[in-house]
Each structure stands twice: as C-alpha cells, then as structure tokens.
Amino acid sequence: MSITAFIIIALLVTLVVYVILIYNNLVSLKHNVSKSWANIDVLLKQRHDELPKLVEVCKQYMGYEQETMEKIMQARSQVASAQQSGDIGALGMAETQLRLGLGGLFALAEAYPDLKADQSFQHLQARISGLENAIADRREFYNEAVNLNNVRIEQFPDVIIAKQFSFKPFELLEFSEEEKKDVDIKGLFH
C-alpha cells in the first residue's frame, strides 16, 4: 500500500471518528434536555398533588376568599394541561399565574391567624414553598441544557451533523414580565 493511500485512509477514518463523536455529543445534549424536563415534570406533579390539599385547608378558614382559591385551581389545571401537551410557552404562562395565585393566597393567610397556626397549613405551605424552590432550580438546569443543545446545533461543524440527522432546537422555559416584577403586597389586602 502506498503512503498516499495510507494517508487517505487515515484521514477518512479520522473524519468518520470525528463525525461519530459529534453525533454522540449531540445525542447526549438532547437527552440532557429530556432528563432536565423530566426532573421538572416530577416536581410539577408533586406540587399538583399538594395544591388541592392546601386549598381545602384554606377553605375551612377562608370561606369568602373563593376567588383566590378558584384562580389557584384554574392555574393548576392550566399547568397540568401545558405539561401534558409539552407546550413550554404555555407552561411558562400558566406557571406565572399559579405562582401569583399562591403568593396571593399566602399573603391573604396573614389575615387569618387560626389558619396560619394550623399545622396542616404550615406543613403544606412549607412543602409547596420547597417544591417551588426546587422547580426554580430545575428550570435553571433545564434552560442551561436547552441552551447548550441549541448552541451546539448551530455551531460549525456540528450544524452539518445536526441538520443531517434532524436535531432540533428546544424552547427555553421563560417567564412573563408579570412574574418578574415585584408583587404589590398592599394590593393583595384590598
């Protein structure tokens, strides 16, 4: 075998190995996004299960605050619907409404000393607050995984492999401007 043939074969083998490495890395990034979403999904389901319990405890003390309770349950339903359909944009909007509703509920609870002292309420409030923090952490991991995936499938030479094997970008889990702004605590008590 001539030296030229050997060099050509070596270059082809190197190219094939390089393409395989790029492909495997893109697959890994894609699965990291899926894993990050699954982590959020687990926490959303846990919170979904806890919210009716919290609302029920609150109803015992806050009978005339029905509108607040309805908003929370409606937002819970919207989160579940967006979660099932995998609609990240709708999930972000529904999450905003749910967080605002919970913030309003916890602020209103301040006006009910018996409710605040109730052990079930305290436990559920702590549990849901813990889940909210965990969801926020997982959102950060999810968005980082999405960003890494989306950047890689646009970079050269990865873009060639990504297009060839139909790797697609994922949507970031973003929040509405309403959720980013400060909460008007005084407005919750009027």
**Mean pLDDT, residues 96-112:** 82
Whether the per-residue pLDDT at 129 is higher than 60: the answer is: yes
pLDDT at 182: 47
Angstrom distance (rounded) from CA 3 to CA 6: 5
pLDDT at 16: 95
pLDDT 10s digits, 22-75: 999 999 999 999 999 999 889 888 888 888 888 888 877 776 577 777 888 888
Residue 66 neighbours by CB under 8 Å, 6+ apart: none
CA distances to 51, 72, 118 from 9, rounded to whole Å, are: 63, 65, 75
**Mean pLDDT, residues 135-164:** 94
Length in residues, the chain: 190
Angstrom distance (rounded) from CA 94 to CA 78: 6
Sign of CA dihedral 86, 91, 94, 95: positive
Position 104 confidence tier, pLDDT thresholds 50, 70, 90? confident
Task: Identify the residue whose tokens are 């605590």.
Answer: 185
Report the CATH number at residue 64. 1.20.1440.20
Number of domains in the chain: 1
Angstrom distance (rounded) from CA 72 to CA 90: 16
22: domain range?
3-188
